[in-house]
Structure 1
Amino acid sequence: FILVFSIILHTTFATNLPRAREATLIEVSSPTEVLIKAAGLGIDKKHSKPKAAVLDQSANDDAAKTAVWFVLIGGSDPLIQTEKEKVAFQKIEEAFFGIDNIRKFISWEADYYDKRLKTDGGKSLKIEKSFKINKALLEEYLVNKSVFQKFTNISASVGMPTIMVIPESNNDIAPLDLLTQNPDIKKGAEVIEAYLSAKQFSVVVPEQQQVLQELSSTQFALGGSDDDYSYLLALSIGSDVYVSYNISISTRIVGTSDVKKAVVGCRAYETTTGRLLGTETGYSQERPSATNAALIEEAMSDAVDKVISRIINYWKTDLKLGIQYKCIINVSNVFDSEQAEEIIFAVGDACKSVASLLKENTVADHTYDISLWVNPEKYPAVSDIYRAIKASYTGEGIVKRVSISRKLILLSVEEE
């Protein structure tokens, strides 16, 4: 009885929530705005014979609510993602969807309908029209209402995620060479940089001379690893996430004009494991006489906005466990296989005493490859982690530092 009553009560009083809840993302207009086509369902409860003006206003208001609802909850990459955020938003959703509040987040709306159709024997009106929604204002509002945690609060304790941006490449040319030699590839990196910077991420676009030495030392420390170039580079410069991308521009003749279209692929990976966080494809419109740069910006904007949503969701989730590091321990060959096994067991125990969570990636005869999640308040610097592991180790030999970067800890166990 109580459950039934609560459902009836919610249905009776939840008058501000959108009715239509049908919408489509048209384009990402900028790092802060998206263009949405939304349906609206107009009703007139005051008159036995519905008034056209009332139906129109009701449908317009409902379409506006639906457009904002789509950005918040309804799309494939909504702003509200975690269960905690959903519960917090439910507490304020009735007031939030008041039409005066909703209008604050609409920066533009079409002055015409894409569709207009009377339904239910003329008692209701269904429309479709387009709106531009300001996502930045939405995020700010939800932070102020404690639905979202303020990113500055997160960054104060653990730092914002550092993201490396690098193009995909085949074996013929290195990605870093593509950045300097191909203007289309360079433009792609610039667009991604702009979007990430607008979201307050720390962005790294590696330059050739800056990273070659670090990359070489990382490969050497990993024993001449054949791992993906981008993955090794991300580890060497200490990014939390790396974003790779590719660009393709096609041309065809329409009538007497050449029209061009850009297609871009954008992928985000977790640096310490190489795990794919999200992949999206973006498209520009076919346009005559358009520059490659304009087409790339249009297509990349569509793709990178969705990938950023995946990165934000990953970062929120991962922070619950602590800061993640990749740690590789090599045991000296002076120890035989049985000794090395006991040493690896002892190293594992030392690492577990430091980590809130430990995941084993590889356990070989003389190599121990793990991922660690560490409390940043207890171990604010990566060197603190090394010191704690070294102090906790009770096995044969001595733990020594090979190399330590922001996300990669390379250690060895040597004979004393």
Structure 2
Amino acid sequence: MKTLLVLILFVSVQLFSQGNLPDSRQATFIEAVTADEVLIKSKGIGGKSGLFGFKEEESVKLAEIDARKAAVYLVVYGGAGLDGLVRSDEEKRKFAPVEQELFATDNVQKFVAWEANSFESRVKLAGGEKIRVEKQFRINRAAVMNYLVDRRVIAKLEDVTDEIGLPTLMALPEVKSGQNPLDELRSNAVLKQGASVIESYLTQ
């Protein structure tokens, strides 16, 4: 009986500590769509059972919510190809008190500028007791940044640039041997626009 009680307490603490954070942390950065928005593909996990067994549609909705959170989690903490907004130990310390607040379902929804109408994958897990979905989201990275600035987790960009200034960056297209990337930018409007978007994203 004592062992069972300890086990129940341990599971309860684990569930409570998870709070609003995503169950799935699986997300992949695809591209910067604009200077403010990034396209991310993420996975979410959801599972809900009732008196009459597994509730599939409700579980899918929970998995979608979790996938949105996983996409925002990537924006906050970063991953392959995408620098996180919260990086230093000091920023992480300041973020800890508001982390649960940021990942509340209603808040996360505000950061989603667009999401795909269909899943890229949808599979059952844990013997059919959970569902994992995967879909694409466009996350407003600038909105997440402003949220963190308002709560003094990270510094305003203006405050940082006043101290160290902005770097000078230039995005150049990949060209064949012997070709001049600057000439390609001047003559190709599509390449020029793409370079402009990348430069804006890197210096925002």
Which whole-Å CA distance do the structure 2 matches of 1:45 and 1:134 have between them? 33
Work out the CA distance in 2 between the residues paired with 1:74 and 1:6. 30
State TM-score, norm by structure 1: 0.40
Larger Rg computed on CA atoms: 1
* Aligned-partner Cα distance in 2 for 1:6–1:146: 34
Report what 2:95 is aligned to. 89
C-alpha spacing 1:88/1:45, structure 2 compared with 1 (3 Å): farther
Aligned to 1:40: 44
Counterpart CA distance in 2 for 1:80 and 1:139 is 9
- Length, aligned pairs only: 188
Q: Deviations over 1:13-52 (max 9, x none)?
A: 4321101111111221111111111101011165572211
Confirm whether residue 17 of structure 1 aligns to residue 8 of structure 2.
no
Change (3 A) 1:112 1:299: farther
Aligned partner of residue 91 in structure 1, secondary structure: helix
Paired AA for residue 165 in structure 2: M
Separation (CA, whole Å) in 2 of partners of 1:7 and 1:85:
30
Residue 163 (1) aligns with residue 168 (2): yes
| Rounded Cα–Cα distance in structure 1 between residues aligned with 2:99 and 2:169 | 37
**How has the CA–CA distance of structure 1 residues 144 and 185 changed in structure 2, closer, same or farther, with 3 Å as cutoff?**
same
In terms of fraction of residues, the more strand-rich structure is 1
Q: Secondary structure at the match of 1:34?
A: strand
Q: CA deviation at 1:160?
A: 3.0
Relative distance call for 1:298 and 1:21 in structure 2 (3 A) is: same
Separation in 1, partners of 2:126, 2:79: 28
Asked whether the 8 Å contact 1:27–1:302 carries over to 2, the reply is no
SS across alignment from 1:163: coil
Decide whether aligned partners of structure 1 residues 20 and 303 sit closer, same or farther in structure 2, where only a CA change above 3 A counts. Answer: farther
Q: Which residue of 2 is the match for residue 69 of structure 1?
A: 73
Q: 2:33 aligns with which of 23, 29, 34?
A: 29
Aligned partner of 1:148 among 154, 178, 184: 154
- Quick one: structure 1 residues 303 and 22, their matched pair in 2 at CA, closer, same or farther if it must change by over 3 Å? farther
Quote the Cα distance in structure 1 between the aligned partners of 2:125 and 2:102.
28
Instruction: Name the % identity.
Output: 31
Q: Give the conservation status (yes or no) of the 8 Å contact 2:169–2:199.
A: no
* Structure with greater proportional helix content: 2
- Aligned partners of 2:149 and 2:72: how far apart in 1? 16
1:88: how far off?
Answer: 1.6
Task: Give SS of 1:107's match.
Answer: strand
Cα-Cα RMSD: 3.2
Distance 1:46 1:100, change over 3 A: farther
Gaps in structure 1 of 5+ consecutive residues:
169-174, 188-291, 313-416
Q: Secondary structure at the match of 1:88?
A: helix
Of 43-52 and 55-64, more deviation after overlay is shown by 43-52
Amino acid at match of 2:84: P
Higher-RCO chain (CA-CA 8 Å, sequence separation at least 6): 2
